[in-house]
Structure 1
């Protein structure tokens, strides 16, 4: 998760710097940087995002299995 977040922030700041050098300033600089970096991230960071999603899915599945085991143990009592 930390890696993906750092990649997203890096993308945002790279776009921000590029637009700043294009003489864009103020709120439009921030808004356009956020939108452009989000679009870039959708395509460029697909693999890290999918890895993170799979990691979260594994954690959820482990917790679900543990909850099912606890529920079964309670039913047996």
Structure 2
């Protein structure tokens, strides 16, 4: 997640600098930079986002399997 956040920030600041160099110098600079960088991140960081989501999914499934194993062990103890 830290990698994704860092990449998002880099994209935002790169967009900010490009728009600043183009001549945009008001509150709109931040707003437009945020919007444009969000669109770029949506496309450019799709792979990183999917990789992170699969890691989270694997952790959730592992915890569910562990909880199910404990439940099964408890049921065996009761019999």
Flag whether TM exceeds 0.5 (same fold): yes
TM-score, length of structure 1 as denominator length = 0.88
Match in the other structure for 1:13: 13
Figure out how many residues of one structure are paired with residues of the other and give that number. Answer: 77
How far, CA to CA, are the matches of 1:37 and 1:72 in structure 2? 49
Q: Do structure 1's residue 70 and structure 2's residue 75 form an aligned pair?
A: no
Q: Which runs of 5+ in 2 are unaligned?
A: none
Query: Following superposition, which runs of at least 4 residues in structure 1 exceed 4 angstroms of deviation?
Result: none
Deviates more, 1:24-33 or 1:59-68: 24-33
1:27 CA drift (Å): 2.2
Please identify the structure whose Cα radius of gyration is greater: 2
Match in the other structure for 2:61: 61
How far, CA to CA, are the matches of 2:13 and 2:54 in structure 1? 27
Q: CA RMSD in A?
A: 1.2
